[in-house]
Structures are given as C-alpha cells and as structure tokens.
Structure 1
C-alpha cells in the first residue's frame, strides 16, 4: 500500500529483545538500527539520560535513513532536591536533539518507586506539575514540544496523577503521548477507560506508542488482539489530530518469539499503516 505517513520505533523494546537474545544493549545500537531499517521503519526514538548520548545515536540512525523525530526522557520531577537538575538536564538534551531535527520530547516523570505501588502525595503532585510546566516552557525555547507520557502507575487512585498533569498544564505547551496499552492495563484492562481518556484529551495527542496483547500478555507484533486499534484510531480521528505513530514492542513472561525481529516489526508497521491511514488521508 502507499505510505501515508511515517512510523517510528522506540528503543525500549529493542533493549529487551537484545537481552532476550543474549546481547549487551550498550553495544547493540547498530544491530537494532539495522533491523529497524530492514523492517521499513523511518524513525528511531531513543531513551536519553545524558546530553552526550544525542549525537552518536542521531548519527548512527541517520546512516540508516532513520530520523530522530522524537526522543524519550524520564526523570524525577516530584522531589525538590532532584527535580531542578532533571529539568536542566532534559533541557540540554532537547537543545542538542533539536540540532538533529528532533521535534518532540516524550517525558515520563518517574514514579516514587518502579517496583512498588507507592503513590505521590498531593504536595508532590503539585510540585511535579510546576516543574512539568517549567520544563515545557524550557523545551519550547529549544524548538521541541513536550509530550506527557505515562505507564500504569499514573492510573491508580482514580488516575489522579494522570489527570492532574493534564488538567493543570497549558494545552498549547504540554501535549500527550498516548500509550494505549499502559492506560488500558492501569485501568484494570479496560478499553472503555482508555476511550474515555481519548475523549477527554484527544485534541492533545501528538504521539502514540502502540503495543498489543493477547489474553493480557504482550504480543510480539501489533495486530488484532485485546485492544481494538481501529476503534482507538476512529476515536482519535474525531479530534482532528495526526499523531506521530511509534511501534513499541515489549516483552514479558509469555510473550511469543516466533517471527524474528525484522518480520515482527514489519508486520506491526504494516498493520499500523492500515489502521491509522484514515487519520492522514487527504480531506
């Protein structure tokens, strides 16, 4: 089919695949980029924690014809002792990424503890909101748009963290990187809750990370499964937005490994093209 838009891939899944295949991720970037290129993907979204990482990753991606349309950054924004440095580091990463054509900065504020269900207090959420707004202004000065990203933790306690970050920020400065499967999982495997999130914040969706599961276990491809992506795309289309689509495979116990990395990503790309093409069709 004719390519209507570009589809990227996110580094997190590739780091898991490298570990599964017995590879050291620190020396596997070129290996992963080669396979992303072979799968027909057009952009690489790296996970960045230091400004010095930007140039070598961008140059390696460019050699394969892969753009760095977006970058992903995580960090602590709820703790006054750490958050100012997080904002400064992310701003410098964004400044350097902008030199390589990056347009979107996907930002996921860290939870209190990745391995527990500790929730942030109201005071911590209020402080995080201030820093997120500050960061959005700083990133805008570099030419990048902040796209707020979440996992399942933000959906706990009535999704209070998720809603507070979006209700309290400027929609012109803070967009949404929708991660349907994390929202679905965080809401107790509820597609209804996911669709409500899109109805509430659909106009702010600037990027979407797509992943699929079968019987609640992450699949090796994005295709038919627990999430109805055609329905999700239709709901997004109602808001008139054209989000950047990023395939983000990930592994957990029970995830199959039958197709090989290139074919699995190629199938996900083709499925994504078919499902999201209506959003990009000429009106």
Structure 2
C-alpha cells in the first residue's frame, strides 16, 4: 500500500496533555508529534501553527470542521464556516477537508430523518463543488455513536452525495455504533479518502492500535485492496475511563510501527 505517510488528529494529544496536568501548547505538542514518528498533523492551518508545525518537519494532511450538515445549505454560512479553513488548508498543501455531520443535539442526541441524511448529501456535494478547484477532497467523518445515525451518515455519502465526496472512516466510532469499518472499506472502496484510526474494547478506547476488538490486519488488507493511497491518520484517545501505561508519544510510535508492518 503506497500511503502518503502517518498523520494524527490533535484532539487526543491535547486531552492527554490536560489529563497529565500540562497545558497543551502547540510548540510542545508538535515537537512530541515529530518525535513519535508522525509525518503530518491535522490542524486548522493558520499562519502561526503552520510555521511551527513545519519547523518540526510536519506537513499538514487535513483540517477538520464540525457542522450541522442536516440544515438547508443557505444556513450553513459557508463563506465563514468553511471557505476560510479550506483556503488555509489548500495554501498549506493539505489534501483532505474532513467534515463532521454534527448531531441535532450533542447533549441529547436525536435520531435524524432520511430527509436530514439527504440534505447532508446535498450539502456535502455543494461544498465539494466549491473546494475541489482548490485541490481539496471533501470527506465525511463518521462520529455518531448510535447505529441509526452512523448508517444514515454513511448513506449521506454513498447514496445522496456526488461521487467527488468521500468517506473518512473513523474506526473507533464506527465500531462503537455497531458498524464494521472493514465492511465499509470493502463495500465502498472508491469512496475511502481518509482514515481516523483507533482501536476499541467494546465502547472503550484502547491505549494504542495493537490491542482491541478491531482487526487492523484485515482493515489494512482491505485498504490495500482498495488501492488506498492517502494518509493514515491516528486518533488515539485516552479518556479517564482507561488507565494508559505509556505516554501519548510512545503509543503513537508503537501504533505507527505496527501499521508499517502492513504498509511496507
């Protein structure tokens, strides 16, 4: 599998820093990312963070935006909510604009209707039309923890969106929702444009990719069969419900070395 390299979402890093009683400062975070063997990070590529990341040899792979994609397009205010982020990502030579379909209510999640999922597909298509000329790929990131909304979000792309819209398969959230991320890759190989990689013991995140219920050997074999050639992005997460034995940097390094055994 000819991948672009190894990247990481930064949420897990900042949360682990807070858990360890440290203030998450970008200089220290990027240094730790580089030391762990990462090639890139996922950030909003503003001037200051971009310069700092590059000073540690890190590229920018993607930017992540959460949006209420189920609402009419004209209420999304894309001129403010999306295009500035996309322009910064394109200028940083990033490739993946990762959009999260936010729930109707984060604190008390509501089941979306099929019309909501259709609206999400329409909005994703229109956003893709705007940013494709910048050299960016729009990917829907699955974040729903329940099966109804997770499978509906999937249909937003594979049934209701233009073929230019792809999937960012978050393995952890897919598994928690009762879906099989390996089946997604096997069933929709042409739509797999990005990954967020995390393993799980049931609903609980594991410390690194080596342990857990998700068969990463099969996942990587499926990605290779799909001729995946994008970034492999980690999203390790150490919430208070688990007791990690190692630092985030050590767990990222272990996970990268593990993935290399499937990509080399």
TM-score for both structures, normalised by structure 1 = 0.84
SS at match of 2:128: helix
Question: Which runs of structure 2 are paired with 1:69-80 in the superposition (5 Å)?
Answer: 69-80=61-72
Deviates more, 1:114-123 or 1:222-231: 114-123
Tell me the CA shift for residue 37 of structure 1. Answer: 0.8
Which residue of 1 is the match for residue 230 of structure 2? 243
Instruction: Note the 1:72-111 alignment, pairs <5 A.
Output: 72-80=64-72, 83-86=75-78, 88-111=80-103
Change in Cα spacing, 1:127 to 1:216, as seen in structure 2 (3 Å) is: closer
Structure-2 change in CA distance of 1:208 and 1:55 (3 Å): same
Work out the CA distance in 1 between the residues paired with 2:3 and 2:120: 38
Tell me if structure 2 keeps the 8 A contact 1:154–1:162. Answer: no
Structure 2: how far apart are the matches of 1:217 and 1:252? 9
Count of matched residue positions in the alignment of Structure 1 and Structure 2? 263
TM-score calculated relative to the size of structure 2: 0.90
* Aligned equivalents of 2:241, 2:122: Cα separation in 1: 40
Structure with the bigger RCO (C-alpha within 8 Å, sep 6+) is 2
SS in 2 for 1:69: strand
Distance 1:4 1:114, change over 3 A: closer
Change (3 A) 1:158 1:217: closer
Q: Report matched runs for 1:164-243 at 5 Å.
A: 164-171=156-163, 173-187=164-178, 193-214=180-201, 216-243=203-230
Segments of structure 1 that go 5 or more residues without pairing to the other structure are 278-283
Shift of 1:196: 2.4
Does the CA contact (< 8 Å) of 2:150 and 2:174 recur in 1? no
Whether the 8 Å contact between 1:219 and 1:256 is mirrored in structure 2 is no
- The equivalent of 1:10 in structure 2 is 9
